[in-house]
């Protein structure tokens, strides 16, 4: 698969590059997200050196770095000997970077592992040697926790030296069109519910096989790319991942309240809160609160969910059945997945509908300043979007079902909307209904009369 266009990220990097002064840009994001491919696209027409750090000693890192830089400048002595220390590296780079030069050091956390003082060393190197050069320095890392500690937190040694930063995030659901141009909406939903929109994951999916064959062969099969992927990623990010496995499994299985997670895991509240904070900091989980709440962090109604669709699928269907899968009993586990897969899709559909809502905002179909969901006791609304400027509030229902949606769904949504306490008496209510399978004729007529926005799959329905 060719490079997936990331125009926004490339545009930001290009704008910074066009200056002549020294630039230091940390780039971070979870493993497999496409950081290296982004940088390859960025440097392809530039004078650039790319160095991938590895889990070796500092002396070996310096030798390898010297080899890459020596080959670029056709310096056989440096190629053979490498750098003897970091000071030599900074002095040499400063001398060579009189003209614009891009230097990319990928997996910077491996340098930290080899020398915990490396961030302070780079700080001094920038201050002493590089700040007056034309170097465009990029430090990349997949360990979000390490990158934040060493580079991105305001107390980190390198925090004050950066001239910008870039987090490479997951692509949108719409990006699946680039990978699977022949797939319809339902097919793309199935794929997204397995692996999200991570480029390295999407490339592993066989477009010619149905979704359950992909699950069986690509995820449930021992030795497959996906089988041990989550364990690998967590062990890269966390020193003692065992407790985190239990917490992530509980959330994936539907234990979303703090009290429910405590009961399921047996952890004390103080320990669990610390674990949850760490998982949030490295963006593995999110804490949802009703979108109408002003003070979200202090809200006790918060519900936890896994951020990544693949992690959610793996902890729901792979981790609990590892014993069966280890003895090759894929069919049994696949049967459990088949039995609840539509329910799994319906939860993912809510997330996709919110993304569709954001796209509709860009296209002018909706106008809002925030979007999320709302709940109170036993009542819940899948999508609520607020426009603080003109006091418009959108209420949305998402229906992943094979039946056409009837007008009773609209009437039920109107009743629930009346319970929402937000600018009551001053606001303008708008309604949006999302459906996998379309709408009854009576609902289409009602929607036309009451200006209800109907979305079939991912596209607005033309009424009137």
Packing angle of the helix pair 7-17, 35-43 (nearest 10 deg): 50
- pLDDT, position 159: 84
Choose one of 167, 184, 216: the last residue of a domain. Answer: 167
Same domain, 196 and 332: yes
- pLDDT, position 272: 94
Same domain, 240 and 343: yes
352 lies in some domain: no
- pLDDT, position 236: 80
Structure-derived torsion over alpha carbons of residues 250, 253, 259, 264, reported in degrees to the nearest 10: -50
Six-digit token string for 322: 């590892």
Specify the CATH number for the domain of residue 444: 3.40.1350.10
Strands 303-306 and 428-435: unpaired
Beta bridge partners of 396: 383, 432
Mean pLDDT of the chain: 92
108 lies in some domain: yes
pTM, full prediction: 0.87
Same domain, 90 and 215: no
Cα gap 46→13, rounded to integer Å: 12
Cα gap 434→457, rounded to integer Å: 7
Cα gap 285→145, rounded to integer Å: 14
Beta bridge partners of 454: 433
Residue 453's H or E segment, with its range, is strand 453-456
Residue 431's H or E segment, with its range, is strand 428-435
pLDDT digits (tens, 9 = 90+) for 240-283: 788 999 999 999 999 999 999 999 999 999 999 999 988 998 88
Confidence band (pLDDT; 50, 70, 90) for 1?
A: very low
Contact 357, 383 (CB under 8 A): yes
Specify the CATH number for the domain of residue 71: 3.40.50.300
| Mean pLDDT in residue range 20-48 | 90
Cα gap 295→168, rounded to integer Å: 28
357 lies in some domain: no
pLDDT digits (tens, 9 = 90+) for 168-206: 888 899 999 999 999 999 999 999 999 999 989 999 999
Same domain, 158 and 179: no
213 lies in some domain: yes
Rounded to 5, what percent of the chain is helix, strand, coil? 50, 15, 35
Residue 390's domain comprises 365-460
SS3 (DSSP) at 403: coil
Same domain, 331 and 257: yes
Confidence band (pLDDT; 50, 70, 90) for 34?
A: confident
Contact 128, 13 (CB under 8 A): no
Same domain, 123 and 229: no
- pLDDT, position 235: 86
SS3 (DSSP) at 152: helix
Six-digit token string for 408: 């009773």
For residue 306, with 0-12 CB atoms within 10 Å meaning exposed, 13-18 middle and 19 or more buried, which class applies? buried
353 lies in some domain: no
DSSP 229-281: HHHHHHHHH-SSTHHHHHHHHHHHTT--SHHHHHHHH---HHHHHHHHHHHHH
pLDDT digits (tens, 9 = 90+) for 201-241: 999 999 999 999 999 999 999 989 999 999 988 888 887 78
Find the angle CA(210)-CA(213)-CA(216) to the nearest 5 degrees.
150
Same domain, 135 and 19: yes
pLDDT digits (tens, 9 = 90+) for 49-100: 999 999 899 999 999 999 999 999 999 999 999 999 999 999 999 999 989 9
Closest C-alpha to 376, from 347, 410, 415: 415
Same domain, 256 and 381: no
Q: Among residues of the chain, what percentage have pLDDT more than 90?
A: 78
Q: How many domains does the chain have?
A: 3
Same domain, 115 and 197: no
SS3 (DSSP) at 328: coil
Six-digit token string for 360: 């509709």
Contact 52, 109 (CB under 8 A): no
pLDDT of 149 strictly over 60: yes
157 lies in some domain: yes
354 lies in some domain: no
Same domain, 232 and 293: yes
Same domain, 229 and 330: yes
In this predicted structure, which of 103-107, 294-298, 303-307 has the lowest mean pLDDT?
Answer: 294-298
pLDDT digits (tens, 9 = 90+) for 347-386: 999 999 999 999 999 998 899 999 999 999 889 999 999 9
Six-digit token string for 184: 């319809």
Q: Which residues of 281-305 are buried (b: 16+ CB within 10 A; e: fewer)?
A: ebbbbebbbbbbeeeeeeeeebbbe
182 lies in some domain: yes
Specify the CATH number for the domain of residue 216: 1.10.10.10
Choose one of 167, 202, 231: the last residue of a domain. Answer: 167
Closest C-alpha to 310, from 228, 383, 416, 247: 228
Same domain, 400 and 307: no
Beta bridge partners of 286: 305
How many residues does the structure list for the chain? 464
């Amino acid at each position: 698969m060719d490079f997936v266009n990331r125009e926004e990220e490339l545009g930001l990097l290009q704008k910074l590059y066009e200056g002549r002064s020294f630039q230091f840009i940390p780039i971070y994001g979870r493993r497999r997200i496409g950081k290296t491919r982004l940088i390859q696209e960025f440097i392809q027409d530039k004078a650039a050196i790319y160095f991938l750090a590895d889990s070796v000693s500092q002396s070996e890192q310096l030798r390898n770095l010297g080899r890459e830089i020596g080959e670029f400048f056709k310096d056989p002595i440096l190629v053979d000997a490498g750098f003897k220390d970091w000071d030599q590296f900074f002095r040499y780079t400063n001398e060579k970077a009189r003209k614009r030069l891009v230097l990319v050091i990928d997996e910077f956390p491996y340098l930290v592992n080899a020398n915990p003082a490396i961030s302070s060393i780079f700080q001094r190197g920038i201050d002493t040697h590089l700040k007056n050069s034309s170097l465009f320095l990029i430090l990349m890392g997949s360990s979000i926790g390490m990158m934040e500690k060493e580079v991105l937190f305001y107390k980190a040694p390198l925090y004050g030296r950066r001239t910008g930063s870039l987090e490479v995030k997951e692509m949108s659901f719409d990006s699946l069109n680039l990978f699977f141009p022949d797939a319809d909406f339902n097919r793309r939903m199935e794929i997204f519910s397995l692996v999200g929109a991570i480029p390295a994951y999407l490339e592993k999916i066989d477009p010619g096989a149905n979704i359950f064959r992909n699950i069986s062969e690509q995820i449930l099969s021992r030795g497959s790319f996906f089988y041990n992927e989550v364990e690998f990623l967590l062990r890269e990010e966390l020193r003692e991942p065992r407790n985190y496995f239990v917490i992530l499994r509980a959330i994936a299985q539907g234990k979303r309240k703090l009290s429910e997670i405590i009961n399921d895991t047996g952890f004390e509240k103080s320990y669990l809160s610390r674990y949850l904070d760490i998982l949030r900091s490295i963006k593995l989980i999110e804490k949802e609160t009703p979108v109408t709440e002003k003070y979200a962090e202090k809200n006790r109604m918060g519900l936890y969910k896994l951020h990544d669709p693949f992690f959610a699928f793996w902890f729901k269907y792979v981790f609990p059945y590892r014993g069966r899968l280890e003895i090759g009993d894929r069919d049994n586990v696949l049967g459990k997945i088949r039995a609840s897969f539509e329910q799994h899709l319906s939860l993912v559909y809510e997330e996709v509908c919110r993304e569709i809502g954001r796209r509709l905002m860009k296209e002018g179909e909706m106008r809002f300043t925030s979007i999320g969901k709302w709940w109170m006791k036993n009542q819940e609304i899948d999508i609520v979007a607020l426009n603080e400027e003109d006091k418009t509030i959108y209420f949305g229902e998402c229906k992943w079902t094979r039946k056409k949606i009837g007008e009773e769904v609209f009437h039920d949504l109107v009743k629930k909307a009346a319970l929402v306490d937000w600018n009551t008496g001053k606001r303008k209510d708008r309604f949006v209904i999302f459906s996998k399978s379309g709408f009854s004729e009576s609902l289409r007529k009602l929607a036309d009369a009451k200006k209800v926005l109907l979305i079939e799959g991912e596209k607005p329905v033309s009424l009137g």
